[in-house]
Every structure is written in C-alpha cells, then in structure tokens.
Structure 1
Amino acid sequence: MAAGVIGAWAALHVFAVWRLDAPAHPLLAVLCLIGLTWLSVGLFIVAHDAMHGAVAPGRPRLNAAVGALALALYAGFSWRKLIVKHMAHHRHAGTDDDPDFGRGGPVRWYAGFVRTYFGWREFWVLGSAVILYALILGPRWPYVAFWAVPSILASMQLFVFGTWLPHRPGHDDFPDRHNARSTRVSDPLSLLTCFHFGGYHHEHHLHPSVPWWRLPSTRRTRA
C-alpha cells in the first residue's frame, strides 16, 4: 500500500511537471492538481504509519527509510524531527505539551501547526528543488504549482481532518484520555479527506500500530 501511494504520487508528479502542457489543457491540469494534493496527503500518512512501525512491522530501519522518503517527497521534511514530535503528540494529546495542539480558532491553530513543522530546512529543500527544475525545464511556470501547491493544500487537509476536527476542545466530549474523536463520516469520505485519519482518529489513538487501510476494521472488531 505504501509503495502504491508513493508510486502513484511519483508517476502523476512526473507527468504533470515533465509532460503536461498545463496552459493548453487547463482541465487536466486542475485534475492533476487535485490528484497530487490527495496523494500528498497519502505521502504524509505513509510516513505517519512508518513512525508507528506499521509499514514494515518488526523492521525499524525499513520503516525509517520509507518514512523518510515519503516526507522528502512531500515537502522535504525531517524524519527525525517529525517522529519525535508525533510521539509527543500521542503521549500528550490535546494538552499544552502536545506539539500539534493549538488554542484559538482554526486559522490561528493552523498557523502554529505550520510554524511547528515548516522551517528553514523545508524552505531550502523545496526552494532548491524549484531552482533545479527551473534550470532543467526552463521558464515553464506551471511546474512550480505541481509540487508546492499540492503540498500546501495537503497540509490544510491534514490539519482540518487529521488534527483540528479530531482534537478541538469544546465541540463535544472526548470518549477517553486520548482527547481524540472520530468524525464518523462514511468510509469513502473518510478515505478521500484524510486516508481514514479523520473518520477513525480515535481508533488510531487506541491502536496506533494499525495502518491507515485497516482502521475501519478496528471499529467493526470492537463493535
């Protein structure tokens, strides 16, 4: 499943950047942008599963390699930095010690979310990639959109469906100490929004080693 997500993103990215004449085919360009945004969410979810050892159970080095690759393709993120922060999120979910938790409305919370995970490393990695593409491809402006824009849109999607909706306080009571709730949408919508990490977020906190594609079965098993 991880190879499928990474391979699909790579194939669509290569097509959109290297083959597609976006100004001549605007509808196809928009479809590629939507597809790359969703697959960028998938890249982050693959890395997230790797953090929990779910990509290759019992093989920590392989998990780390796959997770680092997915994060590099997504936005040049550091595997070491993200795994430390994500483990802290699970230990302190919904508290002031949770690096993903924010106060105030969704805009302020998202701004803090971006500051936490996007720093100079990511700026230089993405900037260098854009410059390299410019040197190779020349003045074809659309290629910038097919990496930077999907990454930004995917961060918003991940934040809304994977962090804000599951962990925002005051909306309704949390079921337990994990301070996490599932959004209880249909399985197709759960898959489209955040690879099941919105629709089954509480289940993920209960069973962090379960990969994204098996999360729906955890609720059926408990039922």
Structure 2
Amino acid sequence: MSETLRRFPSSSLVGAALAGVVICAWIALHVFAVWHLDATDAPVLAVVCLIGLTWLSVGLFIVAHDAMHGAIFPGSPRLNRAFGTLALLLFAGFSWRKLIVKHMAHHRHAGTDDDPDFSRGGPVAWYIAFVRTYFGWREFWVLGGSVILYALILGPRWPYVAFWAVPSILASMQLFVFGTWLPHRPGHDAFPDRHNARSTRFGDPLSLLTCFHFGGYHHEHHLYPSVPWWRLPSTRERGGA
C-alpha cells in the first residue's frame, strides 16, 4: 500500500480524483476552444464549449471552496492549498489567501453585516458588491497580462480568449445566484437556524448542474462545512455528515 493510501481514506482519494477531473477537463476544453476551435465554422460547437466551460468554471471555484474547508485532503493543508490555488488561478486569477480569509468570515457571520458575501441591496447591487469584494488589482493584472500574452501568441485569433473571460463571468453569476443570493437572501422565508442559510432543494440533477450541490444543500453545507460537494446529498439522507 502506498504512502498516500495509508495516509488518506478512500473518500479523500475520491474527492481528490474528482477535483483533478474538474481541473483537467477545464484545461482540456479551454485549450481546444481557444487554440483549435473555429467558431465561425462550428457555431453550435462553440456554444456547447462556452456552456461546458462555464459549468467547469463553477466547478473550479467549488474545488477551491472544498480546499478551503480542508475537504479534498483532510489533515493536509499543503495539498488542499495546492489544489485550491491552482483552481482559483484558472478560474480568474483569484488569490487563495484573500478568498480563504473572506470565506471563513462568511461562515462566522453568515447573513449579517459582518459577512463579506452579504448585502442588503437588490440582487444586481448585491452581485456588484460581491464581485468588488473579490476582484481587485491582483486579478486585474493577472487576467490582463494573460489576455495580452494570448493576443501576442494567437494574433488574429485573440478574440478566442473570450472562451476564458466569458465563462468566468457567467460562472460568477451562477455562483452568486445559486450559491449566495438564493440561500442567503433575507425576507423570502424563515431561516432554519442561526446560520442564516437555506437549501434550494432543486433535486439532485439540477442541484449538481447549478452549483455542484452548494445551492441545493447550502444549509447542510453550513452545518457540515468539511463535507465535500459530492457528499452533500448524503448529509440530508442520513441526517448528518
């Protein structure tokens, strides 16, 4: 038995494998769409790639989110940080250090004025505040530098960089709606407890497609933050993690 298998339980290896699949699938589809796809000759395929990259971009953020909670490799902060850092870099050049600090504050103060993810404005104003919280000069220079590098390499094909920027923007909207606004908006119905979070209960297929179960099982996530996305449905079925 290898050292990895001795150190980590099988469920952790499943989580790491799924995280690897999401990251590798995003890279493969991104390379194909940017470097090999001719959208003018295959517009339907281009749309399919755009949808696929958007969903996989949501997955990148969820991988990083699980890593923040130590859910990919429990007991190994270094491995979790490595997975999370790579996923956030691919997603939009985000800073691991910045996001983990703010996300832990979200869990401590969910749905209050001390919650960096919370706003008392409407959904549009809330989304703008949500983006401004996480997108700063670091992200601007990382993404801007990447666009310039792509343009220099690709030449006339540089607009295909949209297959990175557009999916990231769409994914941020998807994450906001299904992972923040619907679970935490006040006044819609009563929250079940002090976590100020509700589960949308879309059903597992839609829950997976919208936000990798972090909408459909958002309250469960706040109850059991160390449970990875793929195990969240079992927390409701079994009444615990």
How far the C-alpha of 1:103 sits from its partner, in A, is 1.1
Q: Which structure 2 residue ranges, 5 or more long, are not aligned?
A: 1-17
CA distance, structure 1, for counterparts of residue 208 and residue 229 of structure 2: 9
Q: Superposed, which structure 2 residues align to 1:1-223 within 5 Å?
A: 1-222=18-239
Equivalent pairs: percent with the same residue? 85
- TM-score after normalising by structure 2: 0.91
Q: Give RMSD over aligned pairs.
A: 0.8
Q: Which structure 1 residue ranges, 5 or more long, are not aligned?
A: none
AA in 2 matched with 1:115: R
AA in 2 matched with 1:47: A
Deviations along 1:2-52, one digit per CA (max 9) or x if unpaired, are: 001001100000000111111111110000000000000000000000000
CA distance, structure 2, for counterparts of residue 8 and residue 167 of structure 1: 31
- TM-score after normalising by structure 1: 0.99
CA distance, structure 1, for counterparts of residue 92 and residue 121 of structure 2: 26
Deviations along 1:79-127, one digit per CA (max 9) or x if unpaired, are: 0000000000000000000000011210000010010000111111011
Q: Is the Cα contact below 8 Å between 2:39 and 2:46 reproduced in 1?
A: yes
**Number of corresponding residues:** 223
User: Where in structure 1 do 4 or more consecutive aligned residues deviate above 6 Å?
Assistant: none
How far the C-alpha of 1:141 sits from its partner, in A, is 4.0
Q: Is the Cα contact below 8 Å between 2:89 and 2:95 reproduced in 1?
A: yes
Q: Secondary structure at the match of 2:186?
A: coil
CA distance, structure 2, for counterparts of residue 149 and residue 94 of structure 1: 29
AA in 1 matched with 2:199: S
